[in-house]
């Protein structure tokens, strides 16, 4: 059974007990992203303190991968600066493009913490978008929030 490689316990834990779920005030930007092939949706808000991400709050519906991904992302980006968080997002993207190469996962382990558990997803092209949706939403929201603040 190949399933365990995708559904790591860490992923299922995040799915069942999501971290940071719910929409909160205050926020500088809110975005709504959908995955049109399957109907997964996430509404995500970003609250910045200077260039630091003070809060990411979200509501969404979707599969275990998409919901666990946003929860793991929440843990990774709170308290980081926007450029740091976006760089982490790039690393996550690299992991998703790794086609299950264990060397890539190993290299990114420290950087991605729990999110490295998504390495197994990279072997399933149809599911990569599920894992990436929340990171795309974060990129979009933080760009808007940051742009709004800097202007």
Partner 1 sequence: MTQTVSRPAAGARKQPLPLDVEAIRADFPILSRTVRDGKRLVYLDSGATSQKPRSVLDAERDFYENHNAAPHRGAHQLAEEATGLYEAARAKIAEFIGAAVEEVVFTRNTTDAVNTVAYALSNAATAKEPSFRRYAVGQGDEIVVTEMEHHANLVPWQQLCERTGATLRWLGLTDDGRLDLSDLATVVNERTKLVAVTQQSNILGTINPLEPIVARAREVGALVLVDGAQSVPHQPVDVTALGADFLVFSGHKMLGPTGVGVLWGRYEVLDALPPFLTGGSMIEVVRMEGSTFMPPPQRFEAGVPMTAQVVGLGAAVDYLQALGMDTVLAHEEALTAYALEQLQAIPGVTVIGPPDTVARGGAVSFTVEGIHPHDVGQVLDDLGIAVRVGHHCAWPVVRRYGVPATTRATFYVHTGYDDVDALVEGVRAAQRFFGVTPEEATA
Q: What gap in Å lies between CA 22 and CA 44, rounded to an integer?
A: 9
Residues from 76 through 115 that contact partner 1 (CB under 8 A): none
Indicate the residue among 89 and 120 with the shorter CB distance to partner 1: 120
At closest approach, how far in Å is the CB of 59 from partner 1? 13
3-state secondary structure of 139: helix
Contacts of 103 (CB under 8 A, 6+ apart): none
Q: Does 64 bind partner 1 (CB under 8 A)?
A: yes
Indicate the residue among 46 and 133 with the shorter CB distance to partner 1: 133
Indicate the residue among 23 and 147 with the shorter CB distance to partner 1: 23
Binding partner 1 by CB under 8 A: which of 39, 50, 102, 150? 39
Contacts of 83 (CB under 8 A, 6+ apart): 51
């Amino acid at each position: 059974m190949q399933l365990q490689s995708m559904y790591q316990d860490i992923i299922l834990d995040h799915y069942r007990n999501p971290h940071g779920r719910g929409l909160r005030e205050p926020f500088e930007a809110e975005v709504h992203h959908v995955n049109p092939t399957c109907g997964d949706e996430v509404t995500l808000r970003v609250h910045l303190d200077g260039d630091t991400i003070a809060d990411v709050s979200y509501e969404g519906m979707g599969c275990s991968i998409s919901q666990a991904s946003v929860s793991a992302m929440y843990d990774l980006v709170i308290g980081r600066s926007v450029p740091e968080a976006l760089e982490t997002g790039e690393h996550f993207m690299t992991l998703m493009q790794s086609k299950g190469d264990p060397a890539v996962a190993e290299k990114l382990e420290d950087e991605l913490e729990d999110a490295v558990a998504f390495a197994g997803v990279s072997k399933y092209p149809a599911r990569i978008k599920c894992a990436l949706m929340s990171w795309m939403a974060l990129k979009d929201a933080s760009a808007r929030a940051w742009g709004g603040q800097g202007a």
